[in-house]
Structure 1
Amino acid sequence: MNTLTLPDVALHGATSQQTLDWVGMQRIALPLRLAGQPLTGRASAAVSLDDPAARGIHMSRLYLALEQLEGCELDSAALRQVLKHFLASHLGLAQQAYLELAGELLLKRPALVSPLAGWKGYPFALCSRLDAQAGFHVELQLEIGYSSTCPCSAALARQLIQRQFSSDFAGKSLDHADIIEWLGSAQGILATPHSQRSSATLQVRLSPHAAELPLLALIEGAEQALGTALQTAVKRADEQAFALANGQNPMFCEDAARRLHAALRKQPGISAFQLQVVHAESLHAHDAVARSSWHW
């Protein structure tokens, strides 16, 4: 028995004359390389089934085509090549090809002050499509964590500290040493603003002629715009610097969304984007959310 004699039921006609938008596989384990880093990825590979008389597609051809990505740096050219292979292996059956890749990029991030450094993960997803009529499209989704301090809570805390100062020094002559001592006491920090771990999800559509996948540029631009990126290994000096960064960058979810919108508008190679920020509030049992988009 050989491949010429083994039965192939996909050759038989479809039971219903209906085209399908997407047929393929998902959650395929695949070693990837992005931004110079090897990582464990998951792939979804598919084509459209545009021949209503065909029973199915050749899934093994899609699976084998993914071997082209093993060990090579991911970029637009590599994605396009795989999608072309998908369509070439399904001539007469498919007019559209899809490839979705997901993983977590690990980057070593330095501490704010000390010489320490640690690894931080950035979940991402790449959605690419090749259409015989509409051409080649790539969308990149990225998640970034940061800290957000509530401006309202900060103002309320400052007011309580002012009141306590006024009460403790009422009728007394102000002495520099006494004030310094008071500021370093529990009374000097009578109230603290609440802050929370927050997350931003950026989804960008790359320009048709963009060669590189701007993952690192998006991370750097977003973290710089927010000013309070989550830290890894820290010493007390780093923790103090982080407290200073939060104090200098209080933000509502609206503020964070606007900062990121402005940063993405400056990013070259992007034709459209949408974003969402989520502040997992420590005051409320619910989250604060803001969204924004451009040409989406």
Structure 2
Amino acid sequence: MQQTKIIPLKQLPTKEQRHRLFGSVQPTEKTKPVEKSKMADLQNTKKDFLFNLDVVGISNVKYPITIDSNLNPNFQSSIGTFKFSSSLTNTSKGTNMSRFMEQLNDYYEQGFSITIANLNKFTKGLAKRLDQKDATIEVSFPWFFERRGPDSGLTGLNHADAMIRVTYDQTKGYSADVSLSALITTLCPCSKEISEYSAHNQRGEVNMEATLSDDFDEKKTDWKEMLLEAAESNASARLHPVLKRPDEKMVTEQAYENPRFVEDIVRLVAADLYEIPFITKFNISCKNEESIHMHDAIASIKFDKLASLHEH
């Protein structure tokens, strides 16, 4: 039996010696206070700092959340990406960043369900905590929903990117904006018209932003499902996570029967959102990743119902 040759290991300096080798130094004598009450609070300095600030806060904060959905799965655990902010008067040097995170962690420990009612409560409490007249919370998250094959009925999960933004203002009250980015299939009307065989199609991305009215009742209507249906019902066809051959036949034939340009998509989705009474304004865009071009095709539309009423 062959013996393994043992190579003697190099004797290393101690860990403390290694740290000193790479630049660590001994702590110097501390002269500044360690009690919070005795520490300087620069953010709370009161002087004339020239300008009011529209927005000050923190962004790109990731925290666990829960989501309610009308579509299966009805209850979801997810990760929210948060942005918190408030305005700031010229008499205040800065805001207290730690209070944003303290407020978030308080809600997380209670189980942070992302509803408009909870976000209203959050923003009002945050404004009070910051000693400001307003506060805004914005949270983005992936939302999953079950989709069945049209013939086989086999299920899988699709997802869309969702966002809620809630603002509390001491004078104006609450406002809520929501958005959803959904993927769809579009089939080119032009290639269908001019080609002897078939037509090219592409994957489209529909982005919808909407402002909700004060009387919107989230207990009766899931805004996520509402925006998803507006995008998918006006597409050439919906996307499916699981498709067997009979499903694929149905989906491709449906797309051929419903050709859509990007211009068509934004106009049709706009018509649906226009008819929803609790949406006061909206912004819709669509991007098609063209399958026979190097470029993408884009279109967008904005509409403010309240402004339109004033004009007429």
Q: 1:76–1:210: 8 Å Cα contact kept in structure 2?
A: no
When the two chains are superposed, the root-mean-square deviation of aligned CA atoms in Å is 1.9
SS at match of 2:282: strand
CA distance in 2, matches of 1:258, 1:46: 34
Q: 1:218–1:267: 8 Å Cα contact kept in structure 2?
A: no
SS at match of 1:101: strand
Between stretches 11-20 and 248-257, larger displacement belongs to 11-20
CA distance in 1, matches of 2:107, 2:143: 16
Deviation at 1:209, TM superposition (A): 2.3
Deviation at 1:10, TM superposition (A): 2.0
Please, which of 194, 204, 215 is the counterpart of residue 210 of structure 2? 204
CA distance in 2, matches of 1:21, 1:260: 32
Name the structure 2 match of 1:10. Answer: 43
Q: 1:97–1:129: 8 Å Cα contact kept in structure 2?
A: yes
CA distance in 2, matches of 1:13, 1:203: 38
Name the structure 2 match of 1:41. Answer: 80
Identity %, equivalent residues? 25
Deviation at 1:13, TM superposition (A): 4.1
Aligned pairs for 1:261-280 (under 5 A) are 261-280=270-289
**1:100/1:235 CA distance change after superposition, 3 Å:** same
TM-score normalised by the chain length of structure 1:
0.82
CA distance in 1, matches of 2:276, 2:152: 30
Name the structure 2 match of 1:192. Answer: 198
CA distance in 2, matches of 1:67, 1:112: 43
SS at match of 1:64: helix
Name the structure 2 match of 1:154. Answer: 192
CA distance in 2, matches of 1:258, 1:270: 16
Q: Would you say 1:21 and 2:59 are equivalent positions?
A: no
**1:148/1:64 CA distance change after superposition, 3 Å:** same
Name the structure 2 match of 1:234. Answer: 243
Equivalent residue letter for 1:3: K
Q: 2:48–2:92: 8 Å Cα contact kept in structure 1?
A: no
CA distance in 2, matches of 1:237, 1:209: 44
Q: 2:138–2:166: 8 Å Cα contact kept in structure 1?
A: yes
Q: 1:39–1:104: 8 Å Cα contact kept in structure 2?
A: yes
Deviation at 1:275, TM superposition (A): 0.4
Deviation at 1:100, TM superposition (A): 0.8
Q: Would you say 1:131 and 2:169 are equivalent positions?
A: yes
SS at match of 1:10: helix
Name the structure 1 match of 2:267. Answer: 258
Q: 1:225–1:260: 8 Å Cα contact kept in structure 2?
A: yes
Name the structure 1 match of 2:64. Answer: 31
Please, which of 96, 103, 120 is the counterpart of residue 65 of structure 1? 103
CA distance in 1, matches of 2:216, 2:113: 15
Higher RCO, 1 vs 2 (CA within 8 Å, ≥6 residues apart):
1
SS at match of 1:4: helix
CA distance in 2, matches of 1:103, 1:273: 20
Q: 1:69–1:78: 8 Å Cα contact kept in structure 2?
A: no
Equivalent residue letter for 1:89: R
Between stretches 40-49 and 217-226, larger displacement belongs to 217-226
Q: 1:225–1:263: 8 Å Cα contact kept in structure 2?
A: no
Q: 1:44–1:99: 8 Å Cα contact kept in structure 2?
A: yes
CA distance in 2, matches of 1:73, 1:192: 47
**1:53/1:15 CA distance change after superposition, 3 Å:** closer
Deviation at 1:59, TM superposition (A): 1.6
SS at match of 1:41: strand
Q: 1:86–1:97: 8 Å Cα contact kept in structure 2?
A: yes
Q: Would you say 1:113 and 2:139 are equivalent positions?
A: no
CA distance in 2, matches of 1:12, 1:221: 50
Please, which of 114, 123, 130 is the counterpart of residue 90 of structure 1? 130
TM-score normalised by the chain length of structure 2:
0.78
SS at match of 1:22: strand
Deviation at 1:62, TM superposition (A): 1.7
Equivalent residue letter for 2:84: A
Equivalent residue letter for 2:153: P
Q: Which runs of 4+ in 1 moved over 4 A?
A: none
CA distance in 1, matches of 2:177, 2:106: 20
